[in-house]
Chains A and B, each alone.
Chain A
């Protein structure tokens, strides 16, 4: 398929196997790991699909995250341009100053300390599922609420408002709607966050927003807007991504009984298994976007100032130059630096939390329900082809 006006081929999106990257993306990577493509919005840009080339792009200071077009939406219009504390729409050196304010709350040690609370949340949800009896939709009863509870606890979101946060998070991640709907969800989120910040200022607790309010802030950057932007980014990102990985990861493991048996026989494989799930599923299915702020070069290809570039992390994680026999799902692989969390200064700040959540979730789920199985064949599942993060819309299971 080619675009009538430019001739650049459309970026592949259709998947004949729901657990593998889109058909044709491997061919593009082999022929030209940096190539021109036409995106959902109808606009043309650079598409980077090779592992080394994606890494080179994401660490190159000649590229900005403040892109002119939202290539993966229908109308291509950029709606969200949050400021300080958001991390998403910030370049260096300001981005690293703000990221460091937040990073100290997300260290490996601090995230490890959350294990007992995460285990409790997982256990409570599995207790309820057991009491209810199968079949159940694992997305609705488990994959969505668990990360939502974990991050809401971390941020001190009151129990009665958690459902609303989850609803907004989902609305903001759709790409099959018009600009007005995304903006409306953003407005609702802003209102909720403003309330949350004011409450924490009045009554500080042991949550992350209270910690930021009282943190050492020599440059005086942490104001209400900073707190709302930071909380917005972290809450939305933590809800949707981990939920997608839980639903899709459970589906994949249930579809590959040999791999699941290995994990059951040797639970110490859980760390490796989660890294392989992250690599294999790399749910940021459309990749990260950048724009050249000066003339640059990626993989020997000249990118002119002002041109937009897409780092296709999913294609990169299936590059045979990175990993041997990439289409083989193998939880015994030695972990390698996959790009599921991105690369460069914008690499996911919540990745250590995500890892721990996923390790606890999969270890506990398959231990508590040793006979767990899909209640619907994989071919009949609805996959999130229309969302920023790939996953399953529902996952009926029984035991």
Chain B
């Protein structure tokens, strides 16, 4: 896979400054998202490119403060 292909793959981005710890992401896709000890969103290691998963696709809509986005490259 060259750099151009990597760049165009959908990626999950989390914004911890916006996060309020509602937990919607963990509820929808617990295999990809977690909450740290402060209750704020974190991506589980190795899952930044799991954006194609149907449950992960639900998260940007479910997050009440738009702290999770999926970029389509």
- A108 close to chain B: CB less than 8 A: yes
Cβ–Cβ contact A107 & B35, under 8 A = yes
Report the Cα distance A351→B30, complex, angstroms.
16
Which of B21, B38, B66 has the most C-beta atoms of chain A within 10 angstroms of its own C-beta? B21
Q: Which residues of A contact B37 (CB under 8 A)?
A: 104
Cβ–Cβ contact B20 & A100, under 8 A = yes
* Residues 99-119 of A contacting B (Cβ, < 8 Å): 99-100, 103-109
In chain A, what residue has the closest Cβ to B24? A337
Q: Which residues of B contact A351 (CB under 8 A)?
A: 22-23
User: Chain A: interface secondary structure?
Assistant: helix
- A389 close to chain B: CB less than 8 A: no
Which of A72-80, A169-177, A247-255, A339-347 lies at the interface with chain B?
A339-347
- B62 close to chain A: CB less than 8 A: yes
Per a CB cutoff under 8 Å, which of A100, A106, A343, A352 touches B64?
A343
Interface residue count for A (Cβ, 8 Å)?
22
**Total number of residue pairs linking A and B with CB closer than 8 Å:** 59
Cβ–Cβ contact A345 & B65, under 8 A = yes
Which of A99, A103, A105, A351 has the most C-beta atoms of chain B within 10 angstroms of its own C-beta? A103
- B52 close to chain A: CB less than 8 A: no
Cβ–Cβ contact B64 & A59, under 8 A = yes
Q: Which residues of B contact A343 (CB under 8 A)?
A: 64
Q: List 18 A-B contacts (CB under 8 A).
A: A96-B20, A100-B20, A100-B21, A100-B40, A103-B39, A104-B21, A106-B21, A108-B23, A108-B26, A108-B27, A108-B30, A109-B35, A337-B58, A337-B61, A347-B22, A347-B64, A352-B23, A352-B27
Q: Which residues of B contact A106 (CB under 8 A)?
A: 21, 23, 39
* Residues 341-362 of A contacting B (Cβ, < 8 Å): 342-345, 347, 349, 351-352, 355
Nearest Cβ distance between residue B25 and chain A, in whole angstroms? 9
Report the Cα distance A96→B16, complex, angstroms.
12
Cβ–Cβ contact B64 & A344, under 8 A = yes
Cβ–Cβ contact A347 & B20, under 8 A = yes
In chain A, what residue has the closest Cβ to B59? A337
Known: A58-B64, A104-B37. 15 other contacts (CB 8 A): A59-B64, A96-B20, A103-B39, A104-B38, A104-B39, A106-B23, A107-B26, A108-B23, A108-B35, A109-B26, A344-B64, A345-B64, A347-B22, A351-B22, A355-B27
Report the Cα distance A351→B27, complex, angstroms.
11
Nearest Cβ distance between residue A103 and chain B, in whole angstroms? 3
Q: Which residues of B contact A342 (CB under 8 A)?
A: 64
Closest 8 CB pairs of A and B: A103-B21, A104-B39, A347-B64, A103-B39, A337-B62, A108-B26, A107-B35, A108-B23
Interface size class of B (residues with CB under 8 A): 10 to 19
Q: Which residues of A contact B20 (CB under 8 A)?
A: 96, 99-100, 103, 345, 347
Cβ–Cβ contact A100 & B38, under 8 A = yes
Report the Cα distance A99→B20, complex, angstroms.
7
Cβ–Cβ contact A344 & B65, under 8 A = yes
Q: Which residues of A contact B40 (CB under 8 A)?
A: 100, 103
Per a CB cutoff under 8 Å, which of B21, B62, B66 touches A107?
B21
Q: Which residues of B contact A96 (CB under 8 A)?
A: 20
* Residues 174-200 of A contacting B (Cβ, < 8 Å): none
Nearest Cβ distance between residue B33 and chain A, in whole angstroms? 9
In chain A, what residue has the closest Cβ to B61? A337
As a 0/1 sequence over residues 17 to 48 of chain B, the CB contacts with chain A under 8 angstroms (1 = contact) are 00011111011001000010111100000000
Report the Cα distance A191→B21, complex, angstroms.
30
Report the Cα distance A94→B34, complex, angstroms.
25
Q: Which residues of B contact A59 (CB under 8 A)?
A: 64-66
Report the Cα distance A353→B58, complex, angstroms.
21
Q: Which residues of A contact B24 (CB under 8 A)?
A: 337
In chain B, what residue has the closest Cβ to A271? B27
Nearest Cβ distance between residue B62 and chain A, in whole angstroms? 4
Report the Cα distance A143→B58, complex, angstroms.
32
Report the Cα distance A56→B26, complex, angstroms.
23
Q: A100-B20, A351-B23 are in contact. Are A107 and B39 (CB under 8 A)?
A: yes
Which of B21, B22, B23, B62 has the most C-beta atoms of chain A within 10 angstroms of its own C-beta? B22
Q: Which residues of A contact B35 (CB under 8 A)?
A: 107-109
Report the Cα distance A109→B23, complex, angstroms.
9
Q: Which residues of B contact A109 (CB under 8 A)?
A: 26, 35
Cβ–Cβ contact A107 & B65, under 8 A = no
